[in-house]
C-alpha cells in the first residue's frame, strides 16, 4: 500500500482530533495532534515563569528551544522532555495563552520542522490549523472541519467538565472566540481552508458519519 499523509485543519473544538484519531485507528496510521505540540511549548513557558498574565519573555523562550524536546508516546500522549503532560496541556491556563505562543514565527518554524519529521515515513493523520496549507501542502488528502459556535462550545465544555476542570460555558466561549481571532488574523500561517481541501461539517454529521465520508474519500487514494 502507498504511504500517505492525511491532514485535518479547522478551528478550535470542531472535533478535528476525534476525527483524526478515528481515521488513524481505522487504517492503523499514526495520529499527530499538532495543537498539543503548541500547547506543550506554552506549558513549558508557563512552568518556567516565562509566560503569565503580565509578561511573555519571547527571547528567553527562543533561547531555550534547543533544550526543549516535544514528542508523542506510542499511545499518542504528548511528552515534554520525557514527561507525559496530556492533562496539563488541556488546562484553561494553557488554552488562554497558547495562541500567543503559536503566532510567533520562530516557534512555528520549530514545530513545522518537527511535524515534517513526524510525517516523514507517511501513513500519518495530522490535525491542526496549517497542516494542509503549510506543513504538508502536497498531502495525499486534506480535510477542513467546520462546526457552529454552539456545537464547538458544547463540545469543549463537556470535554473539560469530564476531565474535572472547573470552568463556565462563558469562559469556554470567550476562549474559543479569542483564539479564533488570533489564529485567523496572525501573519504567519493563519487558519485558512487549504487548497483542494474537502469540507466537512460536524453540525449535522456525528463522528461515525464523518468517518464514513472521510474513509470513502481516502479509500479512493488507496486503490
Ligand atoms: O483543541 P483545540 O481545537 O482547542 O486547539 P488545539 O488544536 O489544541 O490548538 C491549540 C492552539 O495551537 C490553537 O488555538 C492555535 O493557536 C495553535 N495551533 C497552531 O497555531 N497551529 C497548529 N497547526 C495547531 C495549533
Q: Which atom of ligand 1 is nearest to the CA of 10?
A: 3
Decide: 97 in ligand 1 pocket, CB within 6 A: no
What pLDDT is stored for residue 222 in this prediction? 86
Tally of helices (H runs) and strands (E runs) in the chain:
8, 8
Give tens-digit pLDDT for 170-214.
Answer: 999 999 999 999 999 999 999 999 999 999 999 988 899 999 999
Can you give the pTM of this predicted structure?
0.97
pLDDT at 44 over 90: yes
Judging by DSSP bridges, how do beta strands 83-84 and 78-80 pair with one another? antiparallel
The whole-angstrom separation of Cα 132 and Cα 138 is 8
**What secondary structure letter does DSSP report for 140?**
S
pLDDT at 2 over 80: no
Say what percent of the chain tops pLDDT 90: 95
| Residue identifier of the C-alpha nearest atom 23 of ligand 1 | 128
Mean pLDDT, range 64-74, rounded to an integer: 97
C-alpha cell recorded at residue 32: 499527530
- Under 8 Å CB-to-CB from 219, ≥6 apart: which residues? none
What pLDDT is stored for residue 223 in this prediction? 72
Picking from 205, 153, 150, the residue whose alpha carbon sits closest to that of residue 13 is 153
Helix (H, G, I), strand (E, B) or coil at 70: strand
C-alpha cell recorded at residue 218: 481516502
Helix, strand, coil % (nearest 5) of the chain? 50, 15, 30
Say what percent of the chain tops pLDDT 70: 99
What pLDDT is stored for residue 188 in this prediction? 97
Mutational test site, ligand 1, from 35, 116, 175, max ligand atoms within 8 Å of CB: 35
- CATH code: domain 5-222 is 3.40.50.300
Give tens-digit pLDDT for 109-164.
Answer: 999 999 999 999 999 999 999 999 999 999 999 999 999 999 999 999 999 999 99
CA-atom Rg of the chain in angstroms: 17
The mean pLDDT of the chain is: 96
What pLDDT is stored for residue 1 in this prediction? 59
What pLDDT is stored for residue 126 in this prediction? 98
Amino acid at each position: 500500500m502507498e504511504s500517505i499523509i492525511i491532514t485535518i485543519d479547522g478551528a478550535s473544538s470542531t472535533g478535528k482530533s476525534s476525527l483524526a484519531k478515528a481515521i488513524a485507528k481505522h487504517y492503523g496510521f499514526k495520529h499527530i495532534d499538532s495543537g498539543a505540540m503548541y500547547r506543550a511549548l506554552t506549558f513549558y513557558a508557563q512552568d518556567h515563569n516565562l509566560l503569565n498574565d503580565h509578561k511573555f519573555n519571547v527571547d528567553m523562550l527562543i533561547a531555550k528551544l534547543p533544550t526543549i524536546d516535544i514528542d508523542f508516546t506510542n499511545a499518542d500522549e504528548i511528552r515534554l522532555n520525557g514527561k507525559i503532560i496530556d492533562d496539563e496541556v488541556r488546562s484553561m491556563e494553557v488554552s488562554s495563552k497558547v495562541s500567543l505562543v503559536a503566532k510567533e514565527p520562530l516557534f512555528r518554524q520549530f514545530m513545522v520542522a518537527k511535524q515534517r519529521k513526524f510525517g516523514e515515513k507517511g501513513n500519518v493523520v495530522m490535525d491542526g490549523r496549517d497542516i494542509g496549507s503549510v506543513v504538508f501542502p502536497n498531502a495525499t488528502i486534506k480535510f477542513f472541519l467546520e462546526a457552529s459556535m454552539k456545537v464547538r462550545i458544547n463540545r469543549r465544555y463537556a470535554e473539560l467538565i469530564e476531565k474535572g476542570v472547573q470552568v463556565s460555558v462563558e469562559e469556554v466561549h470567550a476562549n474559543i472566540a479569542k483564539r479564533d481571532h488570533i489564529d485567523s488574523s496572525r501573519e504567519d500561517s493563519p487558519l485558512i481552508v487549504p487548497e483542494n481541501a474537502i469540507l466537512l461539517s460536524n453540525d449535522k454529521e456525528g463522528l461515525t458519519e464523518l468517518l464514513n465520508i472521510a474513509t470513502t474519500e481516502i479509500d479512493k487514494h488507496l486503490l
